[in-house]
Structures are given as C-alpha cells and as structure tokens.
C-alpha cells in the first residue's frame, strides 16, 4: 500500500540554524500539506500546496518557513532560522483531491532545537 | 476561531470492554468530520470520514456518529484490544478550505 514517507525521523539542530524537512508524498497525489504538533498539544495546520504554489497557510507559517517541490517526488519544508519554540513533530500529508479528500499522513519528523 | 473539543482527555479501559469518545465542534459550515488514530510518535491514520449529511460510519470495531444539529460526534470502540491504545483525534474540515481543525485527542489506554 502506498504511503507518505518523511526524512529524517529525528533532527536535532541549534537555534538559528536552517533545517530542511523532507517528504515523499503518495505518487498520484496532487495536494500536499505540512502540519506540526508540539509535544502534548494538538496537531496544527501550517500550509497546503498545489500546482507548485501555496494554496493556504496559517498564522504560524511566517517568513521563516518556506515550502518547495524541487522535483517530481519530494516536498520540503524549510525553516530558515530555527527557534526553540519550533521544536515539534512535523507531519507531511498528501491527498488526491482537496476538500473532503482523504489526507494521508507521514510518520513525522521530530525536530529538536537546542 | 474554529474549535474542536474532545472528552474525556484520557481514559483507561479493560481489554474486551467498549468505550465512547466525544467530540464537540463549533466549525460551521463544514465539509466533513474525521476520526484519526494516532499511535505514539506516529502520524495520524484515518478511521472514519463523514460528510455533514451522514450520521454514522463504521470501520470494523470503530463506529462514528455525527449530529450536525448539535455539532457533536462520537467514536465508539467495541470489544477493545490492547492495540487500540492510542490517541483518537477528531478533525473537522471547514467548508471552503483545507485547513483541518484538530481536536487535542482522546488518549485511550487498554489494559489486560
């Protein structure tokens, strides 16, 4: 069964450093998403992406964040200058269709900023 | 602001017993309501998805109900198994966008 994959599973970085989180969505999906979950908190929407551009983004997704689909398979989330409060689990998801389409989540990348 | 509230926050149940988890939401209008299962350290996995016109959906031992008038949903787990230990998350999709609104989850622990 096709699945969303994410790398790395755990990333430790120092405050102020740039990090890139990688995702490989399900191959025939066209809509891609990033979410984050701070430890003990609920999952929060960050951004959705379709047709090589951002469809929607939340208030969390400020200028420190960017997303890219550098090739036909990868979808990345970049944090330019990490802060302690960026420490969280980051989930990538993909779906065949928007709105009502089933979103399939990856296993997540645990980002720890020290 | 869209809100999804779940109760109880956590519960412990004996293997083989049933349990019901509650979700109240204020998202309106909405496209669909989903229940996800999230194992510790893993991504959420979809259990059920219901549109506003549906009021029940089953997936094996999981049965979800939806009352769009009172903006309440429940997830019933029948004959619980140890592998049901997880967080169960209620997620509402607002009509017109993809910004899923997540509840904090019901943490279920099944003990032998």
pLDDT in tens, A8-67: 999 999 999 999 999 999 998 999 999 999 998 999 999 999 988 999 999 999 999 999
Chain A residues touching B31 at Cβ < 8 A: 99-100
Q: From CA A55, how far away is CA A49, in angstroms rounded?
A: 5
Q: From CA B31, how far away is CA A10, in angstroms rounded?
A: 34
B7 at interface of A, judged by CB pairs closer than 8 A: no
Task: Output the pLDDT for position B104.
Answer: 93
Task: Output the pLDDT for position B18.
Answer: 97
Hey, of B2, B35, B44, B47, which one would you mutate to test binding to chain A, going by the most A CBs within 10 A of its CB? B44
B48 at interface of A, judged by CB pairs closer than 8 A: no
Chain B residues touching A41 at Cβ < 8 A: 104
- Say whether A43 and B41 touch across the interface (CB within 8 A): no
C-alpha count within 13 angstroms, C-beta hemisphere, residue B84: 28
pLDDT category, A99, cuts 50, 70, 90?
low
Of the candidates B57, B51, B52, the residue with the CA atom closest to the CA atom of residue B76: B57
Which residue does chain B place closest to A97, by CA atoms? B98
B10 neighbors B22 (Cβ within 8 angstroms): no
Q: Which of B31, B99, B103 sits opposite A42 (nearest CB)?
A: B103
Burial grade of B16 (CB within 10 A; 0-12, 13-18, 19 or more): exposed
Share of chain B above pLDDT 70, in %: 98
Which pair of tokens denotes residue A42? 């609920």
pLDDT category, A100, cuts 50, 70, 90?
low
Q: From CA A95, how far away is CA B91, in angstroms rounded?
A: 15
Q: From CA B23, how far away is CA B32, in angstroms rounded?
A: 13
Minimal CA separation from A37 to chain B, in Å: 10
A43 CB-near residues (< 8 Å, 6+ apart)? A35, A36, A37, A91, B44, B89, B100, B102
Mean pLDDT of A95-110: 86
Minimal CA separation from A69 to chain B, in Å: 19
Task: Output the pLDDT for position A101.
Answer: 74
CB pairs under 8 A between A and B: 58
pLDDT in tens, B22-67: 999 998 888 899 999 999 888 899 999 999 899 999 999 999 999 9
Minimal CA separation from A74 to chain B, in Å: 18
- Of the two residues A15 and A99, the one the predictor is more confident about is A15
- Backbone φ and ψ for B24, nearest 5 degrees, come out as -115, 135
């Amino acid at each position: 069964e096709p699945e969303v994959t994410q790398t790395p599973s755990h990333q430790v970085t120092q405050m102020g450093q740039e990090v890139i989180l990688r995702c490989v969505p399900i191959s025939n999906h066209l809509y891609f998403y990033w979410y984050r979950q701070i430890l003990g908190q609920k999952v929060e929407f960050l951004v959705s992406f379709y047709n090589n551009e951002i469809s929607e983004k939340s208030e969390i997704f400020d200028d420190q964040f960017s997303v890219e689909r550098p090739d036909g398979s990868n979808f990345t989330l970049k944090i330019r200058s990490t802060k302690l409060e960026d420490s969280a689990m980051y989930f990538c998801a993909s779906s065949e269709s928007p709105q009502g389409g089933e979103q399939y989540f990856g296993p997540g990348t645990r980002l720890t900023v020290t | 602001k869209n809100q999804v509230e779940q109760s109880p926050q956590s519960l412990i149940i004996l293997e083989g017993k049933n349990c019901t988890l509650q979700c109240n939401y204020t998202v309106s209008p909405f496209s669909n309501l989903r229940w996800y299962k999230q194992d510790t350290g893993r991504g959420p996995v979809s259990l059920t998805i219901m549109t506003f016109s549906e009021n029940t959906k089953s997936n094996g031992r999981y049965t979800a109900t939806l009352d769009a008038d009172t903006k309440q949903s429940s997830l019933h787990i029948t004959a619980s198994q140890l592998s049901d230990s997880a967080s169960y998350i209620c997620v509402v999709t607002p009509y017109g966008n993809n910004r899923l609104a997540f509840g904090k989850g019901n943490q279920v622990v099944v003990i032998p």
